Amino acid sequence: MDEILTRIWENLIGRVEGPLTLRLLMQPAMSLFFGIRDGLKDARAGRPAYLWTIFTEPAERGYLLHEGWKAMVKVFIMALAIDGIYQFMVFRWLYPGEALTTAFVLAFVPYLLIRGPVNRIVRMKGKS
């Protein structure tokens, strides 16, 4: 098990160098674009911060996760595909768990981190 975790960690860190490194900028940039867009929509609709609401409002959680998935599914699938191509080019093998982890980090994390703050910033500026 330690060998597997070590390999995964080394492969994830190794993605910073080598072919297709532009994806490490482009995929988070697309996620940020969609997060900003959806944060602006949330602010106009007067909704609370996205990630905060997911954690604090169990009744809204399913709807918000579904809505976020709909916004990010194309970016996530593209991240999976590009990481699969990268893995095949570099390792001559496909590691689905690593591809899912990489796609999640590159596609969902930036989206989750930016949507709520954009909403709050826009709403605060609207009050002043």
Which tens digits make up the pLDDT trace of 27-65? 899 999 999 999 999 999 999 999 889 999 999 999 999
In a domain? residue 3: no
Does residue 56 belong to any structural domain of this protein?
yes
Residue 13 is assigned to a structural domain of this protein: no
- Cα–chain center distance at 1: 27
Whole-model pTM?
0.79
| The total number of structural domains that make up the chain | 1
Please write the tens of the pLDDT for every residue from 102-111.
888 888 899 9
Is the dihedral angle over the CA atoms 11, 26, 113, 107 positive or is it negative? negative
**Residue 1 falls inside a structural domain:** no
Domain range holding 29?
Answer: 22-127
In a domain, 16, yes or no: no
Asked if the structure places residue 38 within a domain, the reply is yes
Checking phi first, is residue 96 left (phi over 0); if not, alpha (psi -120 to 50) or beta?
alpha
